[in-house]
């Protein structure tokens, strides 16, 4: 395969990250971009040099010169579009979250196996230099057995509104939008154990804080300050089959001094934190050591999207192995849906398989 023909489904904000990544490669052709708003597809095609654009996904999937697609749409269409693309013989890079429900996740996993096509999930924070460096320490056994992790992403006035605040399209609020990043990262660093139970709480008391005008924040293109149907805050204890656990909390709107992200893992030989910069904690000669690896990007940087896209292209060409396979997405959806279920029921939820 000389060049990989690429189709992009969805011309919203996240598509910019995908397209920019593809443009870094000289072994890619940007063939077509599709969007439910044809004018938006036309604008993106002109901006980025796609040969074609359309408002019809079926037209894109029917093209023989497209081998792989990126799905950059609302959460409620992720599974349907991925399944259609796979059955049309295309390899798929799907944006997070995998889908909206466990049933959808299992159906998508089934289709991936039936078609034999590659499916890669866009958990971009795994590609951060701080994350990959820490994973090398963990895999070498420097932290020992990981038994506990923290996963936290807290915003003060960070509800993007629009479809993000519409549970019919998003599937939830900050948990499924940004919480999926930090929980997946902690889970991956822990070795991806199987979830057994979840105990969670959810709060919807503050709202989207549209009244705050003194802080900059990113807003969805269809933002409406009067619309918000998702939670402000979720916290949870997630337990796994190896006895390990994650303490997680995620918020769009919280009365805190500054926005924070924390992913930390703790083992019997050492611990580590990823944000605001990578730092390891160890012990030697009866002394506790704080170790700061000297790397170019000690916190997450958006160049990681280039790494994610590059890996997907290499995967399609047969030059790489899956990094975030569909099975990881299925387990993460199990965790996220169990958190919502536990919070709604007001009790611990046990995972049935």
- Report how many domains make up the chain: 2
- 3-state DSSP helix/strand/coil % of the chain, to nearest 5: 35, 25, 40
Q: What CATH code is carried by the domain that includes residue 171?
A: 3.30.360.10
pLDDT value at residue 353:
83
| Average pLDDT of the chain, as a whole number | 97
- Residues 6 or more apart in contact with residue 116 via CB below 8 angstroms: none
pLDDT at 191: 98
Per cent of the chain over pLDDT 70 is 100
DSSP lists the bridge partners of residue 272 as: 265, 280
- Same domain for 222 and 314, yes or no, is no
163, 90: one domain = no
- In a 3-state reduction of DSSP, which class is residue 128? coil
Same domain? For 114 and 150 the reply is: no
Q: Is the pLDDT of residue 316 over 90?
A: yes
Q: What pLDDT score does 2 carry?
A: 83
**C-alpha distances out from residue 191 to 50, 144, 185, 187, 195, Å:** 39, 12, 10, 7, 12
Whether 166 and 260 share a structural domain:
yes
Report the SS3 class of residue 229.
Answer: coil
| 52 strand-pairing partners | 32
Mean pLDDT over 139-161 rounds to 97
Q: Report, as an integer, the average pLDDT of 206-234.
A: 91
One domain for residues 136 and 282: yes
At residue 1 the predicted structure's pLDDT band, cuts being 50, 70 and 90, is low
- This prediction has a pTM of 0.97
Per the listing, tokens 């959810």 go with: 202
**60 CB-near residues (< 8 Å, 6+ apart):** 7, 9, 32, 34, 54, 66, 69
Residues 290, 271 within the same domain: yes
Regarding whether 166 and 103 lie in a shared domain, the answer is: no
Full residue range of the structural domain in which residue 49 is found = 4-125+305-324
């Amino acid at each position: 395969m000389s060049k990989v023909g690429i189709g992009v489904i969805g011309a919203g904000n996240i598509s910019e990250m995908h397209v920019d990544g593809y443009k870094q490669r000289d072994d890619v052709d940007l063939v077509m971009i599709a969007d439910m708003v044809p004018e938006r597809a036309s604008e993106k095609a002109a901006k980025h040099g796609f040969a074609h654009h359309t408002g019809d996904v079926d037209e894109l999937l029917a093209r023989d010169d497209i081998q792989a697609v990126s799905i950059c749409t609302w959460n409620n269409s992720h599974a349907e579009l991925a399944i259609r693309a796979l059955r049309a013989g295309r390899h798929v890079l799907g944006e997070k979250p995998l889908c909206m429900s466990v049933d959808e996740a299992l159906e998508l996993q089934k289709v991936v196996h039936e078609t034999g096509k590659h499916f890669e999930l866009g958990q971009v924070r795994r590609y951060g230099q701080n994350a990959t460096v820490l994973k090398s320490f963990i895999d070498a056994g420097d932290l020992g057995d990981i038994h506990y992790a923290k996963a936290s992403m807290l915003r003060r006035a960070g509800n993007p509104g629009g479809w993000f605040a519409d549970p019919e399209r998003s599937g939830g609020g900050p948990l499924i939008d940004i919480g999926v990043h930090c929980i997946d990262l902690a889970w991956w660093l822990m070795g991806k154990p199987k979830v057994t139970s979840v105990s969670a709480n959810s709060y919807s008391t503050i709202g989207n804080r549209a009244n705050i005008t003194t802080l900059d924040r990113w807003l969805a293109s269809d933002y409406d300050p009067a619309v918000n149907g998702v939670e402000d805050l979720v916290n949870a204890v997630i337990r796994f089959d190896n006895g390990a656990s994650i303490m997680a909390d995620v918020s769009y709107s919280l009365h805190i001094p500054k926005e924070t992200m924390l992913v930390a893992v703790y083992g019997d030989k050492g611990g580590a934190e990823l944000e605001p910069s990578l730092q390891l904690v160890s012990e030697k000669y009866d002394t506790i050591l704080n170790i700061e690896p000297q790397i170019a990007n000690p916190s997450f940087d958006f160049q990681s999207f280039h790494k994610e896209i590059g890996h997907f292209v290499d995967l399609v060409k047969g030059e790489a192995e899956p990094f975030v396979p569909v099975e990881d997405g299925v387990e993460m959806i199990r965790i996220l849906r169990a958190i919502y279920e536990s919070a709604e029921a007001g009790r611990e939820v046990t995972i049935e398989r």
